[in-house]
């Protein structure tokens, strides 16, 4: 057996090839035998197209079982799997193809005509299509091929995938992930989250992102068990499937949507063993309400595209609302001064730096960026601001680039958000810095309140009043806006850059 991540999981697949791997809402089922055969055919097709070890295969397709088999086929062929967010436009896809120079690009049948020229201009060798129902030229061309395929041996350091970061500032960067990065993280998560042979995972996340692909899918592969696969989060479907599932992984918005539904009861969640949340901060209130409504304490964890998962609340032990738990086994987390990189005193706030077998080797063709973000000793600068409390729990305070500097004073948005979120009638808030003629930046609060009928009578005076009572004056918002919805990306992260842009002229140009 080699260090190819596929070999590692395949060695653990169930002896009975008929064991279910993916089941769709329609009832359609794919077994581990199907996984071996379809990924084998796809791998044969890719190598037939000249894909060799280390070649990139870029993929922008709808979520489907076949898309998972394509991911596995890339691993088997020794290629680097490069999934792209389905929301990316033609221009964005053009950038990724030009940057990564994939040998093969797989898009949907519907976007083939629009992307053919883009792919040709980027020098892509072959363009294939894959539809949401498993249709398209990839499947057609693979159909007659021999499913037996010898997985290409790979070393632990060989490239397994490139995931582009969401790129909220500047160009999106391709994080290079090795077979070791994937296997070390999957083995750890599988163990610490106590996966059992009969676990069934409810999968409603996108699979172009580390959460749905490497956390959720790889845990299932490590476990050799099955998942109920939804194209996207849909509360009706989730309530239908919860009685058959035991584990769900979600972003915080999944949980707030479930909480908004009267069907969320202890009975609805009775079959579940574990609810996990990540990719964006889970409000402490959401954690508490979910526990009151279902008896389940959501297990919150923290990670990034570049590092896989880094910390997790414990399976056995206190899952503390508002914290992301302890560093994972073999993962080191330290809190450092942003400028000097020196570790700060215990308990102080600083930038989180991490090290471990899960941490990526660098950004694709960006050695300078890599050098800026990975210190010579191997510590990767996450850009997340946080602290570690006396019990060892990690708290995330925000992104370093979201820090507001008003009149020369540092304001951590999370501190102000916590005060505002505690006001009766407030659902959630996002605190940002906007240009201000006197202060450089002014603190601004964008607030989502409960509908009036549900007691949402909060106004600007109430927000300012609560902040004045609890915070130093320079942290008190100089502007407050009320919105019906906070803008979020596909992973449920509040898009602060968008809010800063929206309100940038509030105090004049
Ligand atoms: P991505 O690379 O898209 O997975 O985004 C990684 C970023 O998401 C991290 O650097 C954090 O800022 C944020 N993030 C992930 N999980 C959490 C969490 N549990 N709490 C707060 N922020 C999180």
Residues 309/312/314/318 CA torsion (nearest 10 deg)? -170
Tell me what the mean pLDDT of segment 354-367 comes to. Answer: 97
pLDDT tens digits, one per residue of 208-236: 999 999 999 999 999 999 999 999 999 99
* Mean pLDDT score across all residues of the chain: 95
Tell me what the mean pLDDT of segment 64-81 comes to. Answer: 98
For residue 410, what pLDDT is reported? 82
For residue 409, what pLDDT is reported? 79
Percentage of the chain lying above the pLDDT 90 cut: 87
- Report residues whose beta carbon is within 6 angstroms of any ligand 1 atom: 165-166, 210, 278-281, 300, 302-305, 324, 382, 384, 396, 399, 491
User: How many angstroms separate the alpha carbon of residue 290 from the centre of ligand 1?
Assistant: 21
DSSP secondary structure letters along 270-300: TT-SEEEE-SSPPPHHHHHHHHHHHS---EE
User: How many angstroms separate the alpha carbon of residue 122 from the centre of ligand 1?
Assistant: 31
pLDDT band at 354 (very low <50, low <70, confident <90, very high): very high
Atom 5 of ligand 1: nearest residue by CA position: 304
Percentage of the chain lying above the pLDDT 70 cut: 98
Pairing of β 29-31 and β 409-411: unpaired
Positive or negative, the Cα torsion across 42, 48, 53, 57? negative
Tell me what the mean pLDDT of segment 321-340 comes to. Answer: 95
pLDDT tens digits, one per residue of 103-156: 999 999 999 999 999 999 999 999 999 999 999 999 999 999 999 999 999 999
For residue 172, what pLDDT is reported? 86
User: How many angstroms separate the alpha carbon of residue 305 from the centre of ligand 1?
Assistant: 9
pLDDT tens digits, one per residue of 42-56: 999 999 999 999 999
For residue 451, what pLDDT is reported? 80
Tell me what the mean pLDDT of segment 279-289 comes to. Answer: 93
For residue 509, what pLDDT is reported? 73
Please give the residue that has the higher pLDDT: either 186 or 439: 186
Please give the residue that has the higher pLDDT: either 137 or 451: 137
pLDDT band at 70 (very low <50, low <70, confident <90, very high): very high
Q: Decide if pLDDT at 170 tops 70.
A: no
Q: What is the rounded CA–CA span in Å between residue 71 and residue 67?
A: 6
For residue 455, what pLDDT is reported? 66
Tell me what the mean pLDDT of segment 180-200 comes to. Answer: 98
Q: What is the rounded CA–CA span in Å between residue 490 and residue 206?
A: 8
Atom 21 of ligand 1: nearest residue by CA position: 281
Residue from 280, 333, 354 whose mutation best tests the ligand 1 pocket (most atoms within 8 A of CB): 280
pLDDT band at 412 (very low <50, low <70, confident <90, very high): confident
Tell me what the mean pLDDT of segment 304-321 comes to. Answer: 98
Residue from 303, 359, 401 whose mutation best tests the ligand 1 pocket (most atoms within 8 A of CB): 303
Q: What is the rounded CA–CA span in Å between residue 25 and residue 229?
A: 7
Q: Decide if pLDDT at 169 tops 60.
A: no
In the block, residue with structure tokens 């040998």: 103
Tell me what the mean pLDDT of segment 400-410 comes to. Answer: 84
Q: Decide if pLDDT at 168 tops 60.
A: no
Atom of ligand 1 nearest to the CA of 210: 4
Q: Decide if pLDDT at 440 tops 90.
A: no
Helix axes 90-100, 112-121, angle to 10 degrees: 40
User: How many angstroms separate the alpha carbon of residue 141 from the centre of ligand 1?
Assistant: 39
User: How many angstroms separate the alpha carbon of residue 481 from the centre of ligand 1?
Assistant: 25
């Amino acid at each position: 057996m080699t260090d190819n991540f596929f070999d590692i999981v395949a060695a653990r697949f169930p002896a009975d090839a008929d064991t279910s791997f993916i089941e769709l809402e329609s009832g359609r089922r794919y077994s581990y035998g199907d996984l071996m055969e379809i990924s084998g055919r796809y791998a044969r097709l890719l190598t037939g197209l000249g894909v060799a070890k280390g070649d990139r295969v870029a993929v922008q397709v709808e979520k489907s079982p076949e898309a998972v088999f394509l991911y596995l086929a890339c691993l088997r062929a020794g290629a680097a799997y490069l999934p792209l967010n389905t929301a990316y436009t033609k221009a964005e896809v053009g950038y990724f193809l030009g940057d990564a120079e994939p040998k093969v690009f797989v898009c949907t049948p519907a976007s083939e005509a629009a992307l053919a020229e883009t792919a040709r201009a980027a020098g892509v060798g072959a363009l294939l299509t894959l539809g949401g129902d498993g249709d398209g030229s990839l499947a057609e061309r693979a159909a007659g091929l021999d499913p037996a395929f010898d997985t290409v041996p790979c070393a632990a350091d060989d490239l397994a995938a490139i995931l582009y970061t969401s790129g909220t500032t500047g160009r999106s960067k391709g994080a290079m992930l090795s077979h070791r990065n994937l296997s070390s993280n999957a083995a750890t998560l599988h163990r610490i989250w106590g996966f059992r042979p009969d676990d069934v995972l409810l999968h409603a996340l996108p699979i172009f992102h580390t959460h749905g692909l490497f956390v959720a899918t790889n845990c299932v592969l490590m476990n050799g068990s099955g998942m109920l696969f939804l194209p996207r989060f849909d509360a009706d479907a989730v309530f239908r499937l919860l009685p058959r599932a035991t584990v769900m992984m979600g972003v915080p918005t999944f949980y707030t949507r479930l909480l908004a539904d009267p069907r969320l009861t202890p009975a609805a969640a009775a079959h579940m063993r574990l609810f996990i949340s990540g990719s964006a901060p889970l409000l402490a209130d959401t954690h508490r309400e979910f526990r009151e409504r279902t008896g389940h304490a959501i297990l919150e964890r923290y990670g990034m595209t570049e590092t896989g998962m880094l910390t997790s609340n414990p399976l056995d032990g206190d899952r503390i609302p508002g914290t992301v738990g302890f560093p994972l086994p073999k993962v080191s987390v330290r809190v450092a001064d942003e400028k000097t990189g020196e570790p700060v005193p215990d308990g102080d706030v600083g930038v989180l730096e991490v090290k471990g077998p899960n941490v990526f080797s660098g950004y694709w063709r960006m050695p300078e960026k890599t050098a800026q973000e990975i210190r010579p000793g191997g510590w990767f600068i996450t850009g997340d601001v946080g602290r570690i409390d006396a019990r060892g729990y990690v708290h995330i305070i925000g992104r370093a680039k979201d820090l507001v500097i008003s009149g020369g004073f540092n304001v951590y948005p999370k501190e102000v958000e916590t005060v505002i979120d505690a006001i009766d009638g407030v659902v959630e808030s996002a605190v940002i810095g906007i240009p201000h003629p006197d202060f450089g930046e002014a603190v601004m609060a964008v607030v989502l309140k409960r509908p009036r009928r549900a007691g949402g009578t909060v106004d600007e005076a109430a927000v300012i009043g609560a902040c004045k009572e609890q915070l130093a004056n320079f942290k008190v918002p100089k502007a407050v806006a009320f919105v019906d919805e906070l803008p979020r990306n596909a992973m449920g992260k509040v898009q602060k850059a968008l809010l800063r842009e929206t309100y940038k002229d509030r105090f004049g140009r």
